[in-house]
Structure 1
């Protein structure tokens, strides 16, 4: 996943998200949690213990970092797939989801970093300062932080933004300026391509 995360090809990153989906499915099935259709229904206490184990496995594998970074991917299909996966994870960890009050969570240091993460995610592909190694206090390998993130970040709003037609971005003056700057920056490196 760490190799896929740095790949420049959006199809490779999308394939990495498919691997994350398969990994999550197997993790949930291994512990007999509801994500697996063939798993026996276990008690609430046992289910909670198994959920914590699955969450720890996902955090150790650094999957949340990849998923949240993918939400800010400049390629729309990657962001959409990452959002779908995060929504599926939230359904598994919060079967009866009611959004947490963001003001309530901002008071703690973890809540403050999650609020910062939500603001960064709203910027989408314009988020140039996305945290990579726990920057700005976001610890993607901390199960408690990731549970708070799943419970507070408005993934539905992000999904709606990602599902919009990309015309509103591609035809904006800012997008045009980014295209011009990107072209100017690469002309010197690829002069032969200009001919």
Structure 2
């Protein structure tokens, strides 16, 4: 797909943002190239976005993820293959097969890592996305069930890495109960409030500035040291 090539390789931020807006519209409208394999499409796009240094690209990637979740969990669409057999939006229980699919996709890990993004708009978007996901999925499992998850140790390890600022570390394979346990453990409302009240110092941090510089000039990873 030519547009996917642009998203993955173009050195200019504007074309990559434009491609993501097109992809988001395709997902929302049920474009034939998306319906053919929605899981592959979402996974491939988010993998490319997670490596992008442009914060606007990452925000748009989170918007695409929100559209995917809204279709599958909130407002079923005939164009989304994962809505077949799903309960109506009023039901608090998402389809178990979809939760398994969600664990296979990089969507949750992408949003989880974006919570500590150095650009505040990205962190805010990720927080909103995870709140939406939690509200739609956590009611299907009680706290006791989540605590009995066989992956509870990996959940705690992932949360510990997150608290210590190692948000770039992969979460590893998570089953649905582990994913729900992480969502339940995070103080997303508190984080949302802090992000809303904070100044723009996060967006103007040295790390954020460096990312903006790299995104602008298209510097490869091995040349990052030249920007210091």
Q: SS where residue 151 of structure 2 aligns?
A: helix
Task: Determine the structure 2 residue equivalent to 1:68.
Answer: 112
Structure 1 residue ranges, 4+ long, deviating more than 4 angstroms after superposition? 95-98, 167-171, 178-183
Q: Measured at CA, do residues 188 and 159 of structure 1 come closer, stay the same or move farther in structure 2, by a change above 3 Å? A: closer
Aligned residue among 188, 202, 216 for 1:155: 188
Which piece of structure 1 moves more, 84-93 or 110-119?
Answer: 110-119
Distance 1:187 1:61 in 2: 29
**Pairwise CA distance, 1:82:** 0.8
Q: Does the 8 Å contact 1:83/1:159 carry over to 2?
A: yes
Q: Which runs of 5+ in 2 are unaligned?
A: 1-45, 77-82, 214-222
Aligned residue among 106, 110, 117 for 2:151: 110
Q: Does 1:56 align with 2:56?
A: no
Q: Flag the structure with larger Rg.
A: 1
TM-score, normalization by structure 1: 0.65
| Superposition pairs of residues 32-181 of structure 1, within 5 angstroms | 32-35=86-89, 48=93, 50-95=94-139, 100=143, 105=147, 110-122=151-163, 127-128=165-166, 130-132=168-170, 134=172, 139-140=173-174, 142-166=175-199
**Pairwise CA distance, 1:187:** 9.9
Q: Does the 8 Å contact 1:51/1:93 carry over to 2?
A: no
Q: Does the 8 Å contact 1:71/1:83 carry over to 2?
A: yes
Please give the root-mean-square deviation of Cα atoms over the aligned residues, in Å: 3.9
